[in-house]
Structure 1
């Protein structure tokens, strides 16, 4: 059985591998994160209601296309609703 730690890290790696994603983002106040033993994974939160992902994209990226690609990549490894928020362009 996969632990929440492994799931969060795997989602974070998957999102960062999507073309156009610059980084994960903690939200306006930096609060969107998962706290794991000895580390904090910003930009990814998994709970009973689904998966929240907050990202920064590279300037010039096609926002809707990148969001669709994030959703497709994450849905291959996780079940449930996926909410994606584009926080910044860098």
Structure 2
């Protein structure tokens, strides 16, 4: 995962706080950080193969209003903050 490689933390409340090597930080957070959205997908396979159940969520955030607000906030202020009610999900 790129976030672990470059040392970027995950914003709380975290969808998967147990991600190895990724710290969870409170928001608002000044600097680069990751916001992960939960789409209710099954756990990732242990092997290096793609998930075969559910759908591919990679383009789902482009139409998500809370994701757009978070991006705008970061670009304008350099602060990462979610605009979700709890853990971020598509609703």
Q: TM-score, normalized by length of structure 2? A: 0.31
Structure with a larger share of its residues in strand: 1
Q: TM-score, normalized by length of structure 1? A: 0.32
